[in-house]
Amino acid sequence: MPNRKNLHKYRYMYLLAIPGVLYFAVFKIAPLWGLSLAFVDYNSFKGLLGSEFVGFANFLKFFRNNNFWLMIRNTVVISLMNLIFFFPAPIMLAILLNEIKGERFKKVTQTIVYLPHFLSWVVIAGITFFIFSSDVGLVNKMILANGGDVIGFLSNPKLFWWFLLGQTTWKEIGWQSIIFLAAITQIDISLYEAAEVDGATRLQKLRYITLPGLMPTVVTMFIIRLGTVFDVSLDQILMMKNSFVADVAEVFDTYAYTQGIMQGNLSMGVTVGIFKGVVCMILVVTANKVITAMGYDGIY
């Protein structure tokens, strides 16, 4: 706790911090009482205190669900695809943007790649439908015009995960690149000047200066990404899901939504959330220890 002297000295800083503290207190800390719903058979008429305590019965029911391993597979595959293909994409984009010399062209390019972030998943799903649907899709119209047969892109389970990856990459690659661009600007410019004097090529400067300078940020963002590895965009999947791809679209978030919102089983919805949180915490702690052992600075 700050003493009176520091409290008076930094009073305006503490005043500025009040909205943030209130936000976390109201929206992050206060709702934690709801975690207790996972340990009761919640009845909305009796309330939390009047509901029957069932211990870990909800967790056992969740683990014994016929679709549990299906949800594990789908969630893990979608998350791994994002880690393998999407995570490096903003890094490469940031490096490419940094190499642009014309300031006006660079600003225009940045604005264009940032814009999709502000579109809702409803709009993006609509664009996807307009391009790839079987009846009104532009791609299928071009195929028909050239004598081909209609292809059910959006009803093909083998393509569903790739559509999710493509949408996520198009929507977020520009926005995610901002933090890596900021990291590049923090690299000492004298390193590039010395390398240029020594006759280093652009690729050599990229390999020996830019990439090593980016590694602390990349490591930190990777660990943070692991903390959300079981979080897939519920809005995105709900917009893209249909009966043909149900088996590859069922993830923990859709199950929690179905149980908690559609069927009113709030206890099961909270149970799924706790399970995801525990698994992600284990992944973050493990990854942090491994990365620290490799010689990089972790997040704590």
User: Residue 165 — very low, low, confident or very high, per pLDDT cuts 50/70/90?
Assistant: very high
CB neighbour burial string for 258-271, b if at least 16 within 10 angstroms, e if fewer: ebbeeeebbbbbbb
- Greater model confidence, 292 or 167: 167
Q: Flag whether 146 is in a domain.
A: no
Residues 6+ apart with CB under 8 A from 131: 137, 138, 139
Q: Flag whether 264 is in a domain.
A: yes
> What is the rounded average pLDDT of the residues 246-268?
89
Return the SS3 of 97.
helix
Token digits of residue 182:
């900021």
Nearest C-alpha neighbor of 62 from the set 247, 230, 256:
256
The verdict on 100 and 33 lying in the same domain is no
Q: Please identify, among 20, 37, 55, the residue that sits at the C-terminal boundary of a domain.
A: 55
Token digits of residue 265:
């089983």
What domain range is 205 assigned to? 65-119+164-293
Look at 59-68, 125-134, 152-161, 201-210 and tell me which has the smallest mean pLDDT.
Answer: 201-210
Return the SS3 of 58.
helix
This prediction has a pTM of: 0.84
The verdict on 181 and 225 lying in the same domain is yes
Number of domains in the chain: 2
Tell me: the pLDDT tens digits for 62-97?
A: 999 888 999 999 999 999 999 999 999 999 999 999
Q: Please identify, among 55, 74, 97, the residue that sits at the C-terminal boundary of a domain.
A: 55
User: Residue 3 — very low, low, confident or very high, per pLDDT cuts 50/70/90?
Assistant: low
Is residue 260 scored above 60 in pLDDT?
A: yes
The verdict on 22 and 81 lying in the same domain is no
Q: What is the pLDDT of residue 277?
A: 86
> What is the rounded average pLDDT of the residues 139-151?
88
H-helix or E-strand spanning residue 113? helix 103-114
The verdict on 36 and 170 lying in the same domain is no
Nearest C-alpha neighbor of 34 from the set 260, 280, 193:
260
Helix axes 88-99, 103-114, angle to 10 degrees: 160
Torsion of CA 51, 55, 56, 62, to 10 degrees: -10
The verdict on 170 and 51 lying in the same domain is no
Is residue 52 scored above 70 in pLDDT?
A: yes
CA 284 to chain centre: 14
Burial of 193 (0-12, 13-18, 19+ CB in 10 A): exposed
The verdict on 199 and 266 lying in the same domain is yes
Q: Flag whether 154 is in a domain.
A: no
The verdict on 209 and 174 lying in the same domain is yes
Q: Flag whether 217 is in a domain.
A: yes
The verdict on 209 and 261 lying in the same domain is yes
Tell me: the pLDDT tens digits for 5-32?
A: 777 778 788 888 899 899 988 888 888 8
Rounded to whole angstroms, how far apart are CA atoms 121 and 275? 26
Is residue 54 scored above 60 in pLDDT?
A: yes
